[in-house]
Amino acid sequence: MADRLSKLLEARRWVLADGATGTNLFAMGLMSGDAPELWNVDHPERISALHRGFVQAGADILLTNSFGGTRYRLKLHHAEGRVRELNVAAARIARAEADASGREVVVAGSIGPTGEILEPLGPLTTDAAREAFAEQAAALAEGGVDVLWIETMSSKEEIEAAIAGARSTGLPVVSTLSFDTNGRTMMSLTPNELASIHRAHGLLACGSNCGVGPSELVASIVNLATASEPSAVLVAKSNCGLPQYVDGAIRYDGTPELMATYACLAFDAGARIIGGCCGTTPDHLRAMRTALEQHTQGARPDAELIETRLGTISNGARAQLKGLLDRASGASPNATTRRSTGRRGAPRPADA
C-alpha cells in the first residue's frame, strides 16, 4: 500500500508543507540556547498549538519538533539519554493534531544535522552518525510518523549517513539541503549533486530548505529540476525573507504577499511540495495556500523573473541557471557512480 504522502501526491498537483518550528517557538517563549525538543515533554500543549495553527492555515504536512533530536545535538543540553523519549513525544504530538484535522495530513519526522563534522574532515565516523540517525528515526517511527524528513543538511557524508539511518525503519525518506553558500551548501554540494543522491537512494522526494531567502531557494529548485528526472518530486521550503535584527531580536522580513509569490514561483520551478522555513508563520502559510489554489502553472522561471519578483540571486546560482551545474567543483566525478537505479537519463545542460 502506498504511504500517505505518496497518496497525497498522486491526488494533488501540489502539497503544502508547514512553516517554521524554531522561530515560532521563540515567539512562544523558547529562549535562545534552549533545546526545542525538551518542550515535547515540558510544554506539549505549545507544540500542539503550533501544529494546529499550521493545519488550520492549510498545511498538508506537519514536521515534528525533533530537528535537533539526535544524541549529538541533545548532548549540548545533557539530554543525550532521552533520544527515544523526546522523539516519540514529538511524533505523537504531531500525529494527534494530524489525526484530529478531519483530512489527510502527513506527519514527517524531522531529522537535522548532528552538529558534528563527519570523517574524513572531522571526528565523527559515518558508522556512529548512522547509528545516531537510526536511533532517532526508530523513535519517530514508534511515535507514528508517516515519513522521515532529513533537512538542512550540508555534507554528502552526513546526508548519506542520515538516509541510511532513516532507511532502517522501512519508512519513506525525504531529504532537503540548505543551499546557502553561493548556490551550494556550506560543504559545497550543488543541486545537481543532490539530484544524484536522490536517484542513488530512491528518496520519495528531495529539495531545498532554509538558506538565504526565497529568490535563492527558487533558483535552487530550478537547478534541481534541471538535473532531475521529470517524475522526481521536489521540495521547496524557503525562509520567510531574510533575517533582520530588530530590537536585539532576529525577525524575518518576508510578508505573506512575498511568500505567496514565492510559493507560485517554486511550483513553476518544479516543486510539488511547498512550505516555509525560518520565520514562516501560519499567516504566511495561509497566503501561500490561497495563492497556490488560484495559480495556473507558468513556465519555469529564469534568473530575471526570479530577481524581479523575489530579489537577487547569487552568482553561483546564476551560473548554474546558465547550465554550469557543477561550476568550480570540477566534474563531480562520483555523481553518477553510486548504486544505479537504471534511470540515468536526466537532462544535463552542463554536458550540452
Q: Which of 72, 123, 140, 64 is nearest to 98 (CA)?
A: 64
Distance of closest approach, residue 67 Cβ to Zn ion, in angstroms: 9
Nearer to Zn ion, 192 or 239 (CB): 239
Verify binding: residue 63, Zn ion, rule CB under 5 A: no
Inter-CA distances, 169 with 133, 141, 142, 311, Å: 11, 7, 9, 41
Give residue for cell 522555513: 277
Cα gap 234→325, rounded to integer Å:
17
Q: Interface with Zn ion by CB under 5 A: which range of 87-95, 156-164, 202-210, 307-315?
A: 202-210
- Tell me the window of 127-135, 222-230, 233-241, 318-326 that interacts with Zn ion (CB under 5 A): 233-241
Least distance to Zn ion, CB of residue 255, Å: 17
Told to check if 217 binds Zn ion by CB under 5 A, we report: no
Q: Is 277 in the site for Zn ion (CB under 5 A)?
A: yes
Residue 306 · residue 219 · CB < 8 Å: yes
Determine how many CB atoms are found less than 10 A away from the CB of residue 296.
6
Q: Given the DSSP bridges, would you call strands 205-210 and 234-238 parallel, antiparallel or unpaired?
A: parallel
Q: Of 89 and 240, which has the nearer Cβ to Zn ion? A: 240
Query: Pattern of binders to Zn ion over 161-200, x per CB under 5 A?
Result: ----------------------------------------
Decide: 36 and 312 in contact? Cβ < 8 Å: no
For Zn ion, give the closer residue by CB, 217 or 278: 278
Tell how far CA 323 is from the center of its chain.
Answer: 24
Part of the chain binding Zn ion (CB under 5 A), chosen from 117-125, 271-279, 306-314, 337-345: 271-279
Is residue 210 involved in binding Zn ion (CB under 5 A)? yes
Instruction: Output the smallest distance, CB 170 to Zn ion, in A.
Output: 28
Among positions 278, 291, 319, 346, the unique one binding Zn ion when judged by CB under 5 A: 278
Nearer to Zn ion, 38 or 278 (CB): 278
Pairwise CA distance, residues 169 & 66, whole Å: 16
* Separation of alpha carbons 282 and 265, rounded Å: 20
- Chain residues binding Zn ion by CB under 5 A are 210, 239, 277-278
